[in-house]
Amino acid sequence: MSRVPCRLRALGLVTSLGAEHRTVWDRLIAGDRSSLTPRGDLIPGQTRLFGSVTAPLARIPEALAPFRCRNNELALTAYEAIRAEVDAALERHGAERIAVVVGTSTSGMGDAEAAFRERAHTGSLPDTFALAQLEFGGLSEFLQRVSGAGGPCYTLSTACSAGGKALIAARTLLELEICDAVISGAADSLCRLTANGFNELHALAQGHTNPMSRKRDGINIGEGAALFLVTRESGGVQLLGGGESSDAHHISAPDPTGLGAEACMRAALQEAGLGPDAIAYLNLHGTGTPLNDAMESTAVARVLGPGVACSSTKPLVGHTLGASAAIEAAFCWLMLEHREGDELLAPPHCWDGDVDPVLAPLALVRPGTRLRVGASAALLSNSFAFGGSNCALVLGAARA
């Protein structure tokens, strides 16, 4: 049984590709991997590629100084792009009817690391440090104070599926009529904890991540933020369905059978009231790790078959962890917003082209690919997190 869709009314986005919609879109469609740049300051003795945001970030006002950290700066930069729509919603509905539900996996860990290093050298934490920078709940509280929203306010932290689960939670709040609009999405910033953690798992790529290749060897980590204003309105880009599952196979490895991934994709399609043949494009989780790509290709082949156009956008921005599901939903949003008649431009799958014969075959998008769609277009986006916390989203829009 399908659920009532909701509208992703406005989008704010910042990644290593940029912070302006046009810039991000142009570089996304061009398959521009130059935004992944070498850094030697995150892992002792090693230089690896990271998706670092270089666009100017919004400054946190002095009144909110306890929330001052890079993670919140990324979120604020994304928020500024939807501020006018949020202000209009506040005027229409009142503050108590506007909620904030967002995801993160790092919060302000990078700033906390710097503060703890200073304490180790001087014996004291810097005056600029506050626990609100580090707490997971700090992100949602910060956005609530910035926006003036007065409805439910909380942060989800389910690793790489957090941003997608936040959007599903936002839709649920709207369906239950607890609120009339939700600021929802995710933000994540680079820090030594995650860089070294993935390095110890031997999950970082030696160069550019190479999803679905026989030579794939791991991920590039990135940072960024994507925020939507989610409403019950019709028209525009809709969140048609969302599926969640938990395979609980292993703390960091996916279930090799792909059953958890399959379950959340099927649930998302069912909620959207769509069959597999309705999906024009799939944004793969596509991490470029040996285990994820084997599992995901198997699950996708079972659910959608080998003919659905798909690509991983992580070679362009890195794996943005808790923000990845929201950012990749934003890429689907941009695809639908830039529809050209009966055609959609699709982000190319950037890899070395060395097919792994062990993987189930997929229709990986080549540069310049245009997808034919009918009066309505539907896109699917996958996110699979540590611990088997899986999420899939279906976004769609009708021809204007």
Active-site choice (6, 285, 332, 350): 285
Active-site choice (6, 69, 153, 160): 160
Task: Identify whether 153 is a catalytic site residue.
Answer: no
- Do the beta carbons of residue 347 and residue 336 sit within 8 Å? no
- Do the beta carbons of residue 362 and residue 301 sit within 8 Å? yes
Burial class (CB in 10 A: 0-12, 13-18, 19+), 357: exposed
Active-site choice (191, 264, 310, 319): 319
Task: Identify whether 160 is a catalytic site residue.
Answer: yes
Q: How far apart are CA 60 and CA 70, in angstroms?
A: 10
- Do the beta carbons of residue 33 and residue 350 sit within 8 Å? yes
Q: How far apart are CA 395 and CA 340, in angstroms?
A: 17
Sheet order of strands, 98-103 included: 153-156, 98-103, 181-188, 224-231, 6-14, 238-246, 389-398, 376-385, 279-283, 309-311, 363-364
Task: Identify whether 249 is a catalytic site residue.
Answer: no
- Do the beta carbons of residue 371 and residue 280 sit within 8 Å? yes
Q: Beta 238-246 vs 389-398: how paired, if at all?
A: antiparallel
Token pair listed for 25: 């879109």
User: Which residue numbers are catalytic?
Assistant: 160, 285, 319
